[in-house]
Structure 1
Amino acid sequence: MQPVRKTSPEGVEYRDLNGNDRMDPFEDPRLTVEERVADLLPRLSLEEKVGLMFHTVIEAGADGTVLEEPGAISKSATSDVVLRKHLTHFNVHALDDPRMAARWHNALQAVAEQTPHGIPVTVSTDPRHAFIENAGASFAAKSFSQWPESLGLAALRDADLVREFGDIARQEYCAVGIRAALHPTLDLATEPRWARQSGTFGQDPDLVTEMAVAYLLGFQQDSLGPGSVACTSKHFPGGGPQKDGEDAHFPYGREQVYPGGRFADHLKPFPPIIAAGTAAIMPYYGMPIALEVDGEPIEEVGFGYNKQIITGLLRGKLGYDGVVVTDWELVNDNHVGDQVLPARAWGVEHLDPAGRMELIIEAGSDQFGGEECVELLLDLVGHGRVSEARIDESARRLLTVKFRLGLFDNPYVDEEHAAQTLGRKDFRDAGYAAQARSVTVLQNGAEGRAPVLPLATGQRVYAENMSPETVAALGEQVDRPEDADIALVRLMAPFDPRFDLFLESWFHQGSLEFPPGLVARLARIVAHCPLVVDVVLDRPAVLTSLLPLTTALVGSYGTSDEALVDALTGAIAPVGRLPFDLPRSMEQVRRHGEDVPGYDDPLFGFGHGLQVIPTV
């Protein structure tokens, strides 16, 4: 699908977005972004400008049509939010087939063309190139090329590879019309119980900074333009030090603490990402407790409401003038089915939705994540609690990004190109190699046990949590350890399942220790054959109980069964190094300051990773 284009008397092709049969300055592709924004902004109604300030979830119809009814998570029909509420920023969830995704995106843009000034839609996404499926944070790759989680990219210590990943992801996103990434995550993985670490680049502020800047440049390129995906870097001013490791999505995890006085470490990645040109920044939900910045006590309200942090620190001291978008649902409670998740109004729970919205704007944010309550903001303006000049300030920033991305000149995509681009063989091959290479060898032979890596093929293999097809590449799969030459077991890092609140079941929280029953069962395997264990380190698991049992112990961060076997056999050498310390015990974790990178005496330290030399 392509829009109807016109040609001006001067011979310039343009899109007649407001349908007046002439090329207005905002439609003129020859003018600068600043000139086009300056022309368009005064033309917009208050309702159109307010609509720009909301960024909510949208769902696609399975056949590539727009969904004209509320979805599983989306709250409204597409035409309602686009034509009546004038929203133009949407966070998309499930996208399975490339052609369907492209067809849906074009249908969505066609709806947007019916608005008074044809403002194109910006479609955003959480990360969708790795393995973790969590509707509150990320999606599994499916049609896209599949890579390790960000922790795995950090384990490779290769900024050039990270930029290559960003460039490949950029091409795949653009092919289906996704032009905004709600990532990278700059949070430091200093609190091992925290559920969001898999999306970070680890505990070290210097490594996080290097990887995040490379990631941003891959997505946005050297400057934000028509081929870019605009990045939202998060979570300002660093969302890692959650009290007791509980996540701030939930009321019990609202507090962010700094017992080690390491606020500066968590802030460190943001000035370089601002200098690199990040299109947007997102504050975290967390409510700082007993925090001082430059000797000034910081108000104990969530960062999205915090004027000292957003206006004072981010815009003032750091000089950031780009878009600030809040994390999701700070204004209203979220109703999903029969579940109600309270608004993440940490520290301002006593305010009504209008009061929360007013405070967010006063703090310095431009856009409300996960909300579509435009009537509330219009009412605040109507009663003089928010000025139209303040609305214009945010609208100007948001329009600037759309113009820089080239959306006003051509927001449409080609279905055939999408089908050819997503999951292209060279993209998949690069992701597969990164999966295998990021595997971190923690132990290979110990206490009288001879090294077994690289694994020899042609053995009888007892396997758990591995596909039979993959095990066949190693040799004959047997059903009992007693009949095996080698045992291979994949384990997820431990967590405490929780199911009471919406999203809770997707977040891995709580204890990092393996239960005694699992350890006892592994001991029975070891009585019959050498044991190789891979632990998927979405959090820094306590592996102390596994060391006496395993001949080889490795960690992975998003690696398929096939890529793991290639790493273990040395077909692709595993060169990953730990992006964080692994603690010795839960007692050590509980004693550890949530904001402090690393331990004095870890079981395995940051940067640990044995080199396995492939056999010739």
Structure 2
Amino acid sequence: MALEESHELPVYRRADAPTDARVADLLARMTIDEKIAQLHAVWLKLSADGHHAWRTEDFAQRDTGVPLDTLLRYGVGQVTRPLGTHTVDPKEGVKALNALQRQMVEETRLGIPVMAHEECLVGLMIKDATLFPSPLNYAATWNASLIKRVGKMIGEQARSIGCHQGLAPVLDVSHDPRWGRTEETFGEDPYLVGVMACHYVAGLQGERRDLLATLKHFVAHSASEGARNHAPVHVGPRELNDTYMLPFEMAVKLAHAGSVMPAYHDIDGVPCHTNQPLLQRVLREKWGFDGLIVADYAAVNLLYTHHGVARDAAEAAAQSFNAGLDVELPGHECALHLKEALARGEISEATIDAAVTRVLRAKFDIGLFEHPYADPERVNLRSNAALDLAHEVALESAVLLRNDGVLPLACDGKQKVAVIGPTADDPLALLAGYSFPVHLINSGETSNSSITTPLQALRDLLGHAQIIYEKGCAIIEERRAGAPVFPGDVSLDTRDVNSHDELISTDTSRLALAAQAARDADVAVVCVGDLSGLFQSGTVGEGSDTDSLALPGVQQALVDAVIATGTPTVVVMTGGRPYNLGGQEERVAAQVMAFAPGEKGGIALAELLTGRAGFSGRLPLSVPASAGAVPYVYNHRLKSAGTPVARHFGSRYPFGFGLTYTSFAYGDLQLTAANAPIADGTFEFSFSVENIGARRGDEVVQIYVRDRLASTSRPVKELKAFARVTVEPQAKARLRVRLPVDMLNFTDGNGERIVEPGEFELMIGSSSRDIHLNATLTVTGQATRVLERNWRMVSDVQAI
């Protein structure tokens, strides 16, 4: 090992020494070049023989002219997606990562190992990893403990390939489904997002936090003007804190998240990567965040190439690291110029030292110095347990929006079923954008998958002879790289070059065949939706925004043609955002929203449609009545609908909504503690949920609160507690809720969370619209209370 000659092991090499002592000892030995090396990543196509090659991209890592060996001689902070950058056998990928690690540990002066990060939102984004459902599916389960298990499984797979940091979860609160990245979110409610995020993070990181979760995108990335990727954000400080920052605060304080990634956009003209008040004063000082702040890909570079707030790469680096950044990703374009910024007085060595200290502390804390290598023989990406878990999430997340009795489909061999639509037999239609096969579209590579589609699964369950299949139309005839929309502006005169509109099919020649298939069947299952793909290689996903909530392409014409036959029609919608059905919602026999249910989604859908499993998902976001209604969310303020009320406003299927194959009745609300002191009070109440149907089912109980009188305008209702409960037919479950007074807070003009005394309306229901029980809760006290740092953020719901 190429360490300084010494007869005694350096303090930083002693595993039993305190972390602070190890960091201080190592930092004192480092040159400025070695320090700067820890503040950026390298994006390489790794090779097990050590002959690594640059990966260069116009948007993220241009050729800087620095030879690789020259760059690596000082070490490096992180390596970007060592197995996810290109298609590589996982075992060979681990060997290649070990080769780079060996070079860092054995051939650099100080032997500082490198951290490896990968994308892991819907499973590891590498070849052969389990393809989990989308985060919208996670949230649609309303089952936080299940999502903790998902995080834990993904974490185990990540550790097996030597990954030390996962770039997930996404905590953006969705307020406009036209935004392409809606599919990456946990939905529209900040509390639901926060609870799901906390459980995912806790599962991913484990008790030792030896794998860092990355909260992104800090903050309000989903509130961009027009729901356009990277567009500016215009929200006031109260809304910013109460809606968009709450999930991050929960995940930092409750789940001890190890990393945060700022967003691309600017808020009121200040890019998030230079926003010191957010990154330092709020995140680190006010909340106590002790982890790493890592840049979104190329975001430091954008400070001078797009935002125009820095004159060159050196000043961009200085601004971002002064604001609190610790590591530039995915490469080194700007961080390499920190010496120039230092010489110009734009950054101090003390600021550099502070960032290096945080990077080194993270490396010591995760045990990287003691365990720098992964074992290629212990790679574990596709266990039966992982596949079963993906299946469980797919089952619990599909939402039944309408059913006139046509579901479940008959399994007696007598019913002919027409399976129609562009997503019925397309494996990619089941996957979200941050899954490996979808990411490969832009690279020109392909991935062979053994995904069972809904068509295949229905044939397996009902028999091939009972199924009539017609595709009817395509969404995209040929998947290929999309329009040049990263990282932002496209001039108007380039609209005719590789246009996104050209990707979407307008061919209606097969509609007649689909209609005939429906006529020949007893029931038609029409599978529609969208295709995830980055930067307009699909119809949803990062950089694939839309201006409409109409089904992409000619799918609405397909639905219309099938319905016109008179055959009972079941619409099964998959994808990353909700769509309207062109006014046909009342004419379909049944409608299912399955989001992107992952590699086991086809099997799960077939089981649900045939009644082998029961529907239990609930919407994590509203389905706006039209694009003219957005942004629409259930927790809007009173006058959002306008006066007179705009008829396009609202949602046919509201937040929290979902049907089952049984029915439930709520009753017997008892208030054990309807009054609670403002200082430290807790409301306590209980109620019953009875299954009045003939089949076992899962109900998702939802507790909402409205502040009747406040010093600022408040939402019409806000989710404050929820629970998923399984109830046998003709049986009752009794639930007890403990709701801390702290959770009735909002942000005042000083940026502080406060609770005011007064009355609050309690609403208990099965969705944000379907309220079954009401009561009044009273916060007692004389004065407004400012919450302390560790205020009580979650409620407790237990079956008794």
- TM-score, scaled to structure 2: 0.64
Report the CA distance shift for 1:55/1:571 in structure 2 as closer, same or farther (over 3 A): farther
Q: 1:150 deviation in Å?
A: 1.1
Any conservation in 1 of the 2:632–2:650 contact (CA below 8 Å)?
no
Deviation per CA, 1:317-340, whole angstroms, max 9, x where unpaired? 33334322222213336xxxxxxx
Once residues 225 and 388 of structure 2 are traced to their aligned partners in structure 1, the CA distance between those partners, rounded to angstroms, is 40
**Pairing 1:121–2:114 present:** yes
Q: Which residue identity is paired with 1:277?
A: H
| Percent identity over paired residues | 25
Structure 2 letter corresponding to 1:571: R
User: Which residue number in structure 2 is paired with residue 303 of structure 1?
Assistant: 272
Q: In 1, Cα distance between the equivalents of 2:533 and 2:100?
A: 40
Q: How far has the Cα of 1:499 moved from its partner?
A: 5.3
**Matching of residue 103 in structure 1 with residue 95 in structure 2:** yes
Displacement, 1:121? 1.2
Deviations 1:245-298 (A, max 9, x none): 0011xxxx2x11227962221111222222232111111112113xxxxxxxxx
1:564 aligns with 2:605: yes
Aligned pair partner of 2:55 in 62, 71, 80: 71
Aligned to 1:279: 258
- Deviations along 1:537-571, one digit per CA (max 9) or x if unpaired, are 41232345341342111111222322221222232
The aligned residue for residue 323 of structure 1 is 292
Q: Which residue of 1 aligns with 2:726?
A: none
Q: How far is 1:47 from its partner?
A: 0.9
Alpha-carbon shift at residue 55 of structure 1 (Å) = 3.0
Distance 1:344 1:326, change over 3 A: farther
Q: Measure how far apart 1:481 and its partner are.
A: 2.2
Give the secondary-structure state (helix, strand or coil) at the position aligned to 2:43: strand
| CA displacement at 1:96 relative to structure 2 | 4.8
SS of the equivalent of 1:144 reads: coil
Matched, 1:411 2:401: no
8 Å CA contact retained: 1:326, 1:367: yes
1:462 has 2:418 as partner: yes
- Structure-2 separation of matches of 1:510 and 1:196: 14
Instruction: Select the residue among 234, 240, 245 that pairs with 2:227.
Output: 245
* AA in 2 matched with 1:57: W
Change (3 A) 1:110 1:568: same
Q: Tell me, yes or no, if the aligned pair for 1:534 and 1:554 is still in contact at 8 Å.
A: yes
Aligned: 1:356 with 2:356: no
Partner of residue 580, structure 1: 621
Does the Cα contact within 8 Å between 2:176 and 2:631 map onto a contact in 1? no
SS at match of 2:391: helix
Identify the structure with bigger relative contact order (alpha carbons < 8 Å, sequence gap 6+): 1
Task: Give the partner amino acid of 1:610.
Answer: L
| More off after superposition, 377-386 vs 176-185 | 377-386
Per-residue Cα deviation, 1:326-380 (whole angstroms, up to 9, x for no partner): 22213336xxxxxxxx96743x356322222221122222222233134311212
Change (3 A) 1:343 1:444: farther
Contact 1:154–1:202 at 8 Å: present in 2 too? yes
Deviates more, 1:489-498 or 1:88-97: 489-498
1:433 pairs, out of 379, 392, 405, with 392
Mapping 1:156-305, distance limit 5 Å: 156-224=141-209, 228-248=210-230, 253=231, 255-258=232-235, 262-263=239-240, 264-275=242-253, 276-289=255-268, 300-305=269-274
The residue matched to 1:510 in structure 2 has which SS?
Answer: coil
Offset of 1:505 from its aligned partner? 8.1
Does the residue aligned with 2:54 lie in a helix, a strand or coil?
A: coil
Alpha-carbon separation, structure 2, partners of 1:411 and 1:497: 33
Instruction: Give me the CA root mean square deviation.
Output: 3.3
2:136 to 151, 165, 172: 151
SS of the aligned residue for 2:270 comes to: coil
Within the alignment, does 1:472 sit opposite 2:459 as a pair?
A: yes
Name the SS of the counterpart of 2:625 in structure 1. coil
Quick check: 1:424 aligned with 2:383? yes
Answer whether contact 2:395 2:604 (CA < 8 A) is retained: yes
Distance 1:595 1:239 in 2: 19
Cα 1:596–1:356 shift into 2, 3 Å: farther
**Structure 2, gaps ≥5 residues long:** 426-454, 470-516, 642-648, 663-693, 697-800
Sort the Cα spacing of 1:356 and 1:596 in 2 relative to 1 into closer, same or farther, 3 A: farther
Paired residue secondary structure (2:416): strand
The verdict on how the C-alpha distance between 1:28 and 1:243 changes in structure 2, with shifts beyond 3 A counting, is same
Give the length in aligned residue pairs: 558
1:155 and 1:578 in contact (8 A); partners too: yes
What does the per-residue CA deviation read over 1:103-135, in whole Å, with 9 as the maximum and x for residues that have no partner?
2221221121211111111111122535xxxxx
Q: Deviations over 1:287-316 (max 9, x none)?
A: 113xxxxxxxxxx22111112222232233
| 2:360 corresponds to 1:399 | yes
Cα shift at 1:516: 8.4
Q: Give SS of 1:365's match.
A: coil
Q: Which has the higher strand share?
A: 2
In terms of mean alpha carbon deviation, does 100-109 or 573-582 score higher? 100-109
Q: Which of 527, 534, 541 is the equivalent residue of 2:572?
A: 534
Q: Which amino acid aligns with 1:470?
A: A
3-state DSSP of counterpart to 2:80: strand
CA-to-aligned-CA distance 1:131-188 (integer Å, 9 cap, x gap): xxxxxxx94x752223211111111111111111111111100000111011111110
Q: Distance in 2 between matches of 1:431 and 1:308?
A: 40
SS in 2 for 1:466: coil
The match for 1:37 is 23
CA distance in 2, matches of 1:142, 1:82: 28
User: Residue 3 of structure 1 corresponds to which residue in structure 2?
Assistant: none
- The aligned amino acid for 1:287 is D
Q: Which residue of 1 aligns with 2:340?
A: 379
| CA contact 1:544–1:584 (8 Å) conserved in 2 | no
Q: TM-score, normalised by structure 1?
A: 0.82
Residues 1:546 and 1:127: Cα distance change in structure 2 (over 3 Å) = farther
* Structure 1 residues 494 and 407, CA gap change in structure 2 (3 angstroms): closer
CA distance in 2, matches of 1:243, 1:594: 19
Structure-2 change in CA distance of 1:101 and 1:589 (3 Å): same
Partner of 1:453: 408
Give 2:559's aligned amino acid: L
Indicate conservation of the 8 Å contact 1:496/1:509, yes or no.
no
Q: 1:163 to 1:144 in 2, by over 3 A?
A: same
Question: Against the structure 1 CA distance between its residues 31 and 401, is the aligned structure 2 distance closer, same or farther, given a 3 Å change threshold?
Answer: same
Q: Is the 8 A contact 1:193 1:511 kept in 2?
A: yes
Q: Distance in 1 between matches of 2:37 and 2:635?
A: 39
